[in-house]
Amino acid sequence: MESRCGGLRTASTVAIFVLAFHVTQIYAAVAPSFDPSSCHLSGVTTPDNDIRLYGDDRLPGRPVAIPPEVIDKFRAVARRIYAQAPPKSKEGAHCENVFPGIYRIALAHKRVLFVAKIYVRYFQYFVLIVYDPVTGAMTPNPVQIRAYWTENFGAKDELMKTPFVSSADLYQNRQPQIVFESRAHNGSMYNAVVYQYFAIAPDLSLKLVLARETRLADDSGNLIIRELTPLSPSRLRLDIYRVADAGTPQGAKLGYVILASGGADEPFRVVRRHAPNSGNFVCLVTCMDEAPSDDTFLHEGDPNDY
């Protein structure tokens, strides 16, 4: 009898597990899964031709339509980010929090830059696509820039300065680059703002030609500022200042670095350093420990950004 009862208990236990397995399978089959392709997307254009970050109190802008082919590109990027994210990060994903904003920025030559925020929990990116409304051409491979620290510090961060998206003509050929500002952070060891300069190729591809560590808060509470001055179509001067008072436009000049390029849309590299007043301050180009060299930083920017 004891053996028989034990067998009955075993059979009951097996039956419960089988039933639970089938219930799980049925739930998995009918449980809704998020698909970015189902999201209806629209954009915003702002009065100052810029994007908005968390805590931004500037006017939000007005709605604008996004070309269907650009929408398809953004959806494809979102599908890839969503597929690569771990299951925990996908919980609660829906269109409103995966696509919290898309901004339309007017560029030179009647082109348009679309900047989409695509977020899957901690996997947060700004995705950049240039679009030509005359030809219908657009960036074949959108650029992804990590947005996590930029959004977490937000628009009111002391190191961030508007506009967050601007332009520059580094090569002095009337073919301006897109300048995108982002926040870099590594605990108390590294706090900076990096400006990334993207050249626009004939096929509207975006190529990073320069990363400038524009503002850095050092360990002593000073502000390190790097200002860029064009010297010729292929040479730039990067002036480095230490400012004890953040309200002072310029402080003690630590030195300068001359940057050179091999030609239009080619990346810049260091060709000369002049730092008579730098003392023990050795990071004239960048203080980022992860950067293998100054030239690597200039060419690639923050390795955690992409």
Kindly give the confidence (pLDDT) of every residue in the chain, 306 residues in length, as a single tens digit, with 9 standing for 90 and above: 444 334 433 444 444 343 333 433 333 333 357 899 999 999 999 999 999 999 999 999 999 999 999 999 999 999 999 999 999 999 999 999 999 999 999 999 999 999 999 999 999 999 999 999 999 999 999 999 999 999 999 999 999 999 999 999 999 999 999 999 999 998 778 899 999 999 999 999 999 999 999 999 987 778 999 999 999 999 999 999 988 755 555 568 889 999 999 999 999 999 999 987 666 667 899 988 888 899 999 999 887 654
Picking from 154, 183, 212, the residue at the C-terminal end of a domain is: 154
Global pTM reads 0.86
| Contacts by 70-74, CB closer than 8 A, 24 or more apart | 70/114, 70/129, 70/131, 70/138, 71/41, 73/129, 73/138, 73/139, 73/142, 74/41, 74/99, 74/102, 74/114, 74/116, 74/118, 74/127, 74/129, 74/142
Are 149 and 162 within one domain?
Answer: no
Are 237 and 295 within one domain?
Answer: yes
Are 208 and 135 within one domain?
Answer: no
What pLDDT is attached to residue 16?
37
Are 230 and 183 within one domain?
Answer: yes
Are 150 and 163 within one domain?
Answer: no
Q: Describe the strand order of the beta sheet including 143-146 as a list of residue ranges.
A: 62-64, 43-45, 101-106, 112-120, 123-131, 143-146
Kindly state whether residue 68 falls inside one of the protein's structural domains.
yes
β-pairing, 143-146 with 165-168? unpaired
Kindly state whether residue 14 falls inside one of the protein's structural domains.
no
Kindly state whether residue 18 falls inside one of the protein's structural domains.
no
Are 148 and 161 within one domain?
Answer: no
Q: How would DSSP label each residue in 202-224?
A: TT--EEEEEEEEEEEE-TTS-EE
Are 114 and 171 within one domain?
Answer: no
Are 150 and 161 within one domain?
Answer: no
What pLDDT is attached to residue 164?
98
Closest CA to 242 of 258, 229, 226: 226
Picking from 133, 154, 175, the residue at the C-terminal end of a domain is: 154
Q: Would the CA dihedral through 49, 50, 55, 60 be positive or negative?
A: positive
Structurally, the chain folds into a number of domains equal to: 2
What pLDDT is attached to residue 30?
34
Are 177 and 296 within one domain?
Answer: yes
Are 170 and 64 within one domain?
Answer: no
Are 195 and 225 within one domain?
Answer: yes
Picking from 104, 122, 154, the residue at the C-terminal end of a domain is: 154
Are 162 and 117 within one domain?
Answer: no
Full residue range of the structural domain in which residue 119 is found: 33-154
Q: Are 123 and 79 in contact (CB under 8 A)?
A: no
